[in-house]
Amino acid sequence: MRFLYSLTILLFLLNGPAWGSDNKNCPETLSFTVNKLAKKTAIDLCESYAGKVLLIVNTASKCGLTSQYDNLEALHRKYKSQGFAVLGFPSNDFGHQEPGNEQQIQKFCRSTYGIKFPMFSKTNVRRDNADPLFRTLGDLANEYPQWNFHKYIIDRDGKLIASVKSRVDPLDDQIVSAIEKAL
């Protein structure tokens, strides 16, 4: 029994935590495994989203920018069939504006804004405590979220092509143009 426990610890240390993808050809922007919002379902971002254009955004339910959910969903619906997805990551890092648990966040997003784009577990995005995904995006962009609804745009090759400040609406020409060019 002691041997199996030691072996398990050794394998964990060698393979690292669940954040890394096993796919060696995966771009660094997608080399993560994350859980779906309010579920224990693990999603390998590389396996699920490689080859797609992505808008990755940190969200919050009690923010003055929360109405951006409408336009994030509109973008997702408009371009989904062309290989695009919005990926939402709730965070309570700014002004404690995402205080609820994951079930509450999911219910709010669905009932208030009709969100159908993929949402993932509540996480940290600030430079000082960013999860591995947002640390990678922040380092590549040389810009971490300074508030809720910061947006990163990833092209089909997994390359970060834009980092967009929170106050820029998802339907702003800066974002739409970057998405359309990448598609």
Show which residues are catalytic: 63
115, two tokens: 């969100």
The closest alpha carbon to 20, from 48, 56, 44, 53, belongs to 44
Say how far apart CA 91 and CA 37 lie, in whole Å: 12
Let me know if 88 is exposed, middle or buried by CB neighbors in 10 A (0-12, 13-18, 19+): buried
What length is written for the chain? Answer: 183
- Distance separating the N- and C-terminal Cα atoms of the chain: 53
